[in-house]
């Protein structure tokens, strides 16, 4: 059921632009979420985005979606899969929980305002950066070169 929902889900506005900006800037991307990786990969495949991301990290196949894995554990797995260190990573999230998890993991928190989450709810950590939309984030990523 999750896979069919993923294949028919509407593309998140600005996600393609953001992922292309990351790719163009040499910024590797791991996708992390509370669903199983196969479901997230179905979404990426359905929208032609799979080639723009690397590892897909999520809850174990068959594990109840009611029992979410700890976000910091998923972040650690994503950082390891990217073969980098937390301080070289950013977590992009629409939820305050993501901001806290990023801070707890030593990664940069980037909040994206949505119709369900206001800017003040995302700016909950000292180092959080909040953008109004994914296209705004894509523009910022395009404007700022990666450090070598």
Per-residue pLDDT tens digits for 87-116? 999 999 999 999 999 999 999 999 999 988
- What pLDDT does residue 139 have? 94
Within 10 angstroms of residue 9's Cβ, the number of other Cβ atoms is 13
Q: Which two tokens stand for residue 48?
A: 């032609």
- What pLDDT does residue 4 have? 72
How far from the centroid of its chain's Cα atoms is residue 4's Cα?
A: 21
Per-residue pLDDT tens digits for 34-90? 888 999 999 999 999 999 999 999 987 555 555 556 899 999 999 999 999 999 999
Q: By C-alpha distance, which of 122, 119, 127 is closest to 96?
A: 122
- What pLDDT does residue 62 have? 53
Q: Which residue has the higher pLDDT, 2 or 48?
A: 48
- What pLDDT does residue 59 have? 84
Check pLDDT > 70 for residue 18: yes
Average pLDDT over residues 133-147: 88
Please name each of the domains of the chain with its CATH number.
Answer: 2-143 (3.40.50.1000)
Contact 109, 85 (CB under 8 A): no
Average pLDDT over residues 19-44: 93
> Measured between alpha carbons, how far is 43 from 4 in angstroms, rounded to an integer?
9
């Amino acid at each position: 059921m999750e896979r069919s929902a993923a294949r028919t889900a509407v593309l998140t506005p600005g996600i393609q632009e953001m992922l292309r900006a990351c790719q163009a800037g040499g910024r590797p991307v791991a996708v992390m979420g509370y669903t199983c990786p196969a479901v997230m990969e179905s979404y990426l495949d359905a929208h032609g985005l799979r080639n723009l991301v690397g590892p897909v990290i999520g809850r174990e196949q068959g594990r109840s979606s009611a029992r979410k894995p700890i976000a910091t554990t998923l972040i650690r797995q994503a950082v390891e899969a990217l073969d980098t260190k937390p301080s070289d990573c950013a977590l992009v999230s629409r939820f305050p929980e993501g901001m806290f998890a990023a801070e707890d993991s030593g990664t940069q928190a980037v909040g994206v305002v949505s119709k369900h989450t206001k800017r003040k709810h995302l700016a909950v950590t000292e180092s959080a950066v909040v953008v109004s939309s994914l296209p705004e984030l894509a523009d910022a990523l395009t404007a700022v070169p990666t450090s070598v």
